[in-house]
Copies of this chain bind each other. A is one copy, B any other.
Amino acid sequence: MKPIPNEGFPAEDHDHRHCTDRALERAAAICKRRGARLTDLRRRVLELVWSGHKPLGAYDILDTLRRERRGAAPPTVYRALDFLAAQGLVHRIESLNCFVGCSDPELPHSGQFLICTSCGSVAELNDVRIDDAIRDSAAEAGFTVGRRTIEVDGLCPHCQEQGRGPRGRPPHNIAGGTPPLSPRGPRGRPPHNIAGGTPPLSPRGDGDG
């Protein structure tokens, strides 16, 4: 029972109140230190974002908020999320149009996310090796790197154990053509080539799906 899943997926039976409580405490400390105003509304929105490890849409938050405050409207939520994101307390998941709590808000960073397509839970990585690979590759194209959007779909450990497959499509599932990454291919393949020449809808990589 890991209380604070800073990296990786939390155990299914973990005590999630610890996650929420700690997130709120850290947020309060961070805002106080910076002179930023963590108002009741913003605090409540952060708490809702932290109601699980699955990302929440702005309108999901709004639905709850409407039951608690008269006059809650889309700007209410978006402004709060704006503040929280500016403080590094939440991240937006672009591929889902959703928001998750940041697992390490003390450090400024773009997020790197693992998104389980079976249970919907999300883990944050922030692995410097990924940033390094991106920076190096971008540098070869003469590109100076700013914000990174790194969102990886797949299966979390729990869902793999239970042999669960993907449940429901991601939004705007325009695109069938992406093969999964194989566990480890032989080094020295030509750059750019990821898998064989199989047609897009086949789930086959070069050894594992």
Residues in A lying within 8 Å of B, measured CB to CB: 6-9, 34, 78, 81-82, 85-88, 91-92, 94-95, 104, 106-110, 112, 114, 116-117, 123, 125-157, 160, 166, 170, 172, 174-181, 183-184, 189, 191-195, 197-202
Which residue from B34, B85, B138, B193 sits with its C-beta under 8 Å from A114? B138
Q: Are A149 and B146 in contact (CB under 8 A)?
A: no
Q: Are A175 and B8 in contact (CB under 8 A)?
A: no
Q: Are A86 and B175 in contact (CB under 8 A)?
A: yes
Q: Are A135 and B194 in contact (CB under 8 A)?
A: no
Q: Are B7 and A109 in contact (CB under 8 A)?
A: no
A-B contact pairs, 20 of them (CB 8 A): A82-B174, A88-B200, A91-B175, A92-B175, A108-B178, A108-B195, A109-B192, A117-B146, A129-B133, A134-B181, A135-B181, A141-B157, A144-B180, A146-B178, A146-B180, A147-B170, A148-B152, A149-B149, A149-B152, A149-B153
Contacts of A91 in B (CB 8 A): 175
Which residue from B88, B92, B125, B178 sits with its C-beta under 8 Å from A109? B178
